[in-house]
């Protein structure tokens, strides 16, 4: 199968230094934040890859890199076999990538009618000629996401959160993309509405052959949607592979702790052991394996040597010395 | 056991130019000491408003139109502001979603704890300081003795929420109202806060009203669950029964729409449509336009809570005599 997106050794650093004068006065150095650190993965056409992790792990930065909103500091991203930076330069390629954002209240222009919001990518890329063709396409798109053509005359504030997210999806689909990056598409929605949107995303994928990169902190949502999964911690993917295999037998200690920590409907009254500690600052990450201060399996090697991803039996890549050495299961 | 908090027929209204909106409609429930009552529902169902009414922090023009709130047998919904201030903090503690807006950024957390305790309890500076340190240890702040002089911005999100919980509890209230206490936190931190709340209820006998939209959190933390929809209580019962065998079609739909970690389904069950707006509450049962089991009576007559196995549900399907 052809890979739609191929991310190879991508790193993104941000300069978070204080202003020059302050640095001189306080005798301070430049500071860099490595939001994404040597990440590689590929997404086959028509499938869903999900990235999970806690706040600050770099998953949203990676989403922005994948649509070309950021340029990588190192490494390369290829879209349909072509370097993404070059693809972004051509409108014909650019229209094939689109994005759905988390907050449907902030991502729609409140002063525009829904028709114009959905038609904007069509007009920007000059995909259709005259007004009648555009109007026809917009009403088709609205129907596809479960809205009516009459809804096109309304403004965003006249819709509920779930309906607004449907508008965002219609807009994202209007340039007939192949690849959609969905950054926490249902985090702002209630569960019953979340189910509507997730079902819609699955239906559209089946009908249009879409490829998704799904960013989420909700493991249950990821379990429902993903074919492949990457677990991120402090800018690195610590475990990645087929989602089924990872959910069945999580190998990396962080993945296990994360799965263990999710409150579950099937565990009423469970008393939990709990994970200690917080995610360290990405400006000064711990040496060696960045997870070692919180890891129950950490030893001397983990404190100094950074683990590289190693393939395990079921096609899962795990970056962990303990797993590699067979320590602690 | 006598109930610590008792809410009877609580109705909260908002007068607006276009008429009076009824945001809470005839709500009745109770919480016993040491019990965790989970209050769930979607945005706009009235969960937070219920909490605010109990704490006495309804924002005008919202007002309690009818009904009573009793704490330990004493009626607290008619108190004057000064009397309410004494109860708030001393007998009812509150934790809100965003720990940064609850803490004063200009005061050290030790100072905030000491001030809160001295406002409600007769304590010398030294005793108050010692107790502040104890509280920080109890809620799991590492190196509490050194960090007592630190300011809110020096703590991580999870630690801040623990400081807020310590603040809410330091005057030893009998009731804790926690409104989405873990929503702004990551799962690993959320797990820590959940176990903290459970321990407090078990060890100190604090009654906890836990308001959240996260059913997973409720399933693990609560003893009983109250499900709200469009300002009304639709089902209340033991957590196990609400999760495993809900009686109300809305609760059932809500449970089925939650994706599970344990097993994957091709499609999630979905409840079509959305919760009605307050200015367009349908007659009869508020859920009737979305209900898969709706029949004619639901469209005209409002159901009260009826016994439904282990739970109580406001649903005409449970009316054996009707």
Least confident residue range of A175-184, A239-248, B176-185, B238-247: B176-185
Residue B164 pLDDT: 92
Residue B321 has pLDDT above 70, yes or no: no
Q: What is the pLDDT of residue A269?
A: 56
Q: Does position A273 have pLDDT exceeding 60, yes or no?
A: no
Q: Which of A163, A257, A265 sits opposite B219 (nearest CB)?
A: A265
Q: What is the ipTM of this complex?
A: 0.77
Residue A206 forms contact with B (CB below 8 Å): no
Tokens 């370097």, located at residue: A83
A272 vs B75 pLDDT, higher one:
B75
pLDDT band of residue B213 (cuts 50, 70, 90) is confident
pLDDT in the model for residue A329: 54
d(CA B177, CA B289) in angstroms, rounded, equals 32
Per the CB < 8 A criterion, the answer to whether A261 and A219 are in contact is no
Work out the angle between the directed axes of helices B81-90 and B109-120 (0-180°, nearest 10): 120
CB distance A65 to A5 below 8 Å? no
Phi-psi region of A116 (alpha: psi -120 to 50; beta: other; left: phi over 0): alpha
Which residues of B fall within a CB distance of 8 Å from A248?
none
- Determine contact: B237 vs chain A, CB below 8 A: no
- pLDDT of A271 > 70? The answer is no
* For range B201-230, the mean pLDDT: 92
Q: Please tell me the predicted confidence (pLDDT) of residue B126.
A: 94
Q: Closest partner residue to A275 among B188, B270, B274, by Cβ?
A: B188
Is the per-residue pLDDT at A282 higher than 80? no
Kindly report the average pLDDT of chain B as a whole number.
Answer: 90
Q: Which domains are delineated in chain A?
A: 3-96+177-263+274-325 (3.40.50.300)
The whole-angstrom separation of Cα A52 and Cα A230 is 6
The top-scoring range by mean pLDDT among A207-211, B180-184, B267-271 is: A207-211
Please tell me the predicted confidence (pLDDT) of residue B234.
96
- Residue to test with chain A: of B159, B274, B280, most A Cβ within 10 A: B274
pLDDT at B139 > cutoff 80: yes
Tell me: pLDDT of B278 over 80: yes
Q: What pLDDT shows up at residue B298?
A: 95
Region of residue A9 (phi > 0: left; psi between -120 and 50: alpha; otherwise: beta): left
User: Within an 8 Å CB–CB cutoff, is residue A226 touching chain B?
Assistant: no
Residue A1: which pLDDT band, with cuts at 50, 70 and 90? low
- Are B270 and A199 a contacting pair at CB < 8 A? yes
Q: Identify the band that residue A276 occupies on the pLDDT scale cut at 50, 70 and 90.
A: low
What number is the average pLDDT over the span B18-32? 94
Best of B141, B154, B181, B186 to substitute, by most chain A Cβ atoms within 10 angstroms, is B186
Question: Average pLDDT of B13-32?
Answer: 93
How far is Cα A58 from Cα A51, in angstroms, rounded to an integer?
A: 10
pLDDT digits (tens, 9 = 90+) for B79-88: 898 888 888 8
* Residue A275 binned pLDDT confidence (cut-offs 50, 70, 90): low
Report residue A30's pLDDT band, with 50, 70 and 90 as the boundaries.
Answer: confident
Helices A191-208 and B249-256: angle between axes, nearest 10 degrees: 50
The percent of residues in chain B predicted with pLDDT above 90, rounded, is 57
Residues A97-107 have pLDDT tens digits of: 999 988 888 89
> Rg of chain A over CA atoms, in angstroms?
22
Q: The tokens of B86 are what?
A: 């004494």
Q: Is the pLDDT higher at B223 or at A29?
A: B223
Can you give the pLDDT at residue A268?
Answer: 61
- Which of B156, B157, B274 is closest, CB to CB, to A160? B274
Q: Which has more confidence, B217 or A265?
A: B217
């Amino acid at each position: 199968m052809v890979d739609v997106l191929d991310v190879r050794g991508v790193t993104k650093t941000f300069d978070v230094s204080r202003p020059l004068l302050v640095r001189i006065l306080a005798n301070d150095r430049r500071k860099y934040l490595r939001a994404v650190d040597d990440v590689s993965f590929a997404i086959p056409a028509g499938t869903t890859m999900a990235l999970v992790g806690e706040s600050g792990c770099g998953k949203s930065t990676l989403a922005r890199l994948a649509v070309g909103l950021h340029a990588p500091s190192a490494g390369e991203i290829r879209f349909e076999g072509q370097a993404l930076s070059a693809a972004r330069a051509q409108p014909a390629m650019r229209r094939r990538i689109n994005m759905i954002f988390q907050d449907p209240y902030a991502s729609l222009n409140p002063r525009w009618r829904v028709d114009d919001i959905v038609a904007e990518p069509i007009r920007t890329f000059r995909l259709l000629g005259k007004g009648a063709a555009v109007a026809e396409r917009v009403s088709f798109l609205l129907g596809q996401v479960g809205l009516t053509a009459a809804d096109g005359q309304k403004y965003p504030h006249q819709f509920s959160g779930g309906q607004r997210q449907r508008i965002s999806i219609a807009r994202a689909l209007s340039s007939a993309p192949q690849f959609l990056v969905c950054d926490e598409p249902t985090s702002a929605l209630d569960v019953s509405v979340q189910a509507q949107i997730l079902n819609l995303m699955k239906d559209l994928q089946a009908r249009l052959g879409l490829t998704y990169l799904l960013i989420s902190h909700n493991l249950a949502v990821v379990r429902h949607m993903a074919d492949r999964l990457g677990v991120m911690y402090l800018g690195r993917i610590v475990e990645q592979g087929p989602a089924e295999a990872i959910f069945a037998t999580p190998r990396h200690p962080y993945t296990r702790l994360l799965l263990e920590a999710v409150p579950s409907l099937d565990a009423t009254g469970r008393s939990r052991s709990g994970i200690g500690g917080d995610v360290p600052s990405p400006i000064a990450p711990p040496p060696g394996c960045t997870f070692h201060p919180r890891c129950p399996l950490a030893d001397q090697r983990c404190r100094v040597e950074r683990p590289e991803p190693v393939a395990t039996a079921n096609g899962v890549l795990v970056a962990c010395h303990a797993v590699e050495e067979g320590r602690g299961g | 056991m006598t109930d610590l908090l008792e809410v009877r027929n609580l109705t909260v209204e908002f007068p607006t130019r276009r008429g009076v909106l009824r945001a809470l409609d005839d709500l009745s429930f109770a919480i016993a000491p040491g019990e965790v009552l989970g209050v769930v529902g979607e945005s706009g169902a009235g969960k937070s408003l219920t909490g605010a009414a109990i704490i006495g922090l309804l924002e005008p023009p919202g007002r309690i139109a009818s009904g009573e709130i009793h704490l330990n047998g004493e009626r607290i919904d008619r108190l004057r502001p000064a009397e309410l201030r004494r109860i708030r903090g001393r007998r009812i503690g509150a934790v809100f979603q965003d720990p940064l807006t609850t803490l004063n950024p200009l005061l050290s957390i030790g100072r905030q704890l000491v001030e809160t305790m001295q406002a409600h309890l007769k304590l010398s500076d030294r005793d108050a300081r010692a107790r502040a340190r104890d509280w920080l240890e109890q809620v799991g702040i590492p190196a509490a003795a050194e960090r007592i002089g630190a300011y809110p911005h020096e703590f991580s999100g999870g630690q801040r929420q623990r400081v807020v919980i310590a603040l809410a509890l330091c005057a030893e209230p009998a009731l804790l109202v926690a409104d989405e206490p873990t929503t702004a936190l990551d799962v690993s931190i959320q797990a820590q806060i959940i176990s903290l709340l459970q321990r407090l209820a078990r060890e100190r006998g604090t009654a906890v009203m836990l308001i959240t939209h996260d059913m997973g959190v409720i399933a693990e933390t609560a003893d009983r669950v109250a499900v709200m929809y469009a300002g009304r209580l639709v089902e209340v019962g033991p957590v196990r029964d609400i999760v495993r065998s809900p009686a109300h079609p809305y609760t059932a739909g809500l449970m089925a729409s939650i994706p599970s970690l344990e097993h994957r389904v091709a499609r999630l069950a979905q409840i079509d449509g959305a919760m009605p707006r307050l200015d367009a509450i349908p007659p009869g049962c508020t859920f009737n336009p979305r209900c898969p089991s709706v029949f004619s009576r639901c469209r005209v007559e409002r159901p009260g809570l009826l016994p439904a196995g282990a739970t109580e549900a406001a649903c005409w399907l449970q009316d054996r005599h009707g």
